Structure 1
Amino acid sequence: IALDPDTLTLFGYIEIDDPERWAAGAETAINRKWWDFMADIMETNEDNSPVSVDLPVLVHMD
């Protein structure tokens, strides 16, 4: 679980050991459709991918 110190919002996340597999997920039609759908309520890059920032990790479970 990570914390956004600016908003005090907690985030859960997943880790994928294979960066190529993670990147391939971004290229799927359903993922692109989701980015387009959500673009008006989140910060995005030019391709509508979400802007991401590193956050401090509070809890890590193996």
Structure 2
Amino acid sequence: MSEQVIQRGFRMKLKPGMTEEYKRRHDALWPELADALHAAGIHDYSIFLDEESLALFAVLKLRPGHAADTLPQQPVMRRWWDHMADIMEVEPGNRPREWPLQPMFYFA
């Protein structure tokens, strides 16, 4: 039996007034970061904004055998976190604060 694709969802939070800047930075995503995400097995990654609360809702898929847990150790990931730290809520070390989301419904 083969492993199945894993879907993950989580929430992050923007600082007030940073919606346009967040979008601008993601529209110019660094090619080396995109390469690192793909190499880690991440695909079909979307982030949605609730404009009222400034909550960001991310949903991504992980390929079988993914290495997503190694991303925090990669220099390009750490540079991206530093690049984004001024516009969103972050943990020490500038990792974005993330709150996992519980899957409730899926329709294919």
Distance 2:105 2:89 in 1: 25
1:32 alignment partner, SS class? helix
Distance 1:41 1:28 in 2: 21
Counterpart position of 2:89: 43
Distance 2:58 2:106 in 1: 10
Distance 1:43 1:27 in 2: 20
Distance 2:74 2:53 in 1: 31
Distance 2:77 2:61 in 1: 17
Number of residue-to-residue matches in the alignment? 60
How do 1:7-18 and structure 2 match up within 5 A?
7=53, 11-16=57-62
Which of 65, 69, 73 is residue 27 of structure 1 equivalent to? 73
1:41 alignment partner, SS class? coil
Letter in 2 for 1:46: P
Tell me how far 1:15 sits from its aligned partner. 3.3
Which of 78, 98, 101 is residue 52 of structure 1 equivalent to? 98
TM-score calculated relative to the size of structure 2 = 0.40
* Mean CA deviation greater in 22-31 or 10-19: 10-19
* Identity level (%): 28
Letter in 1 for 2:87: I
TM-score calculated relative to the size of structure 1 = 0.62
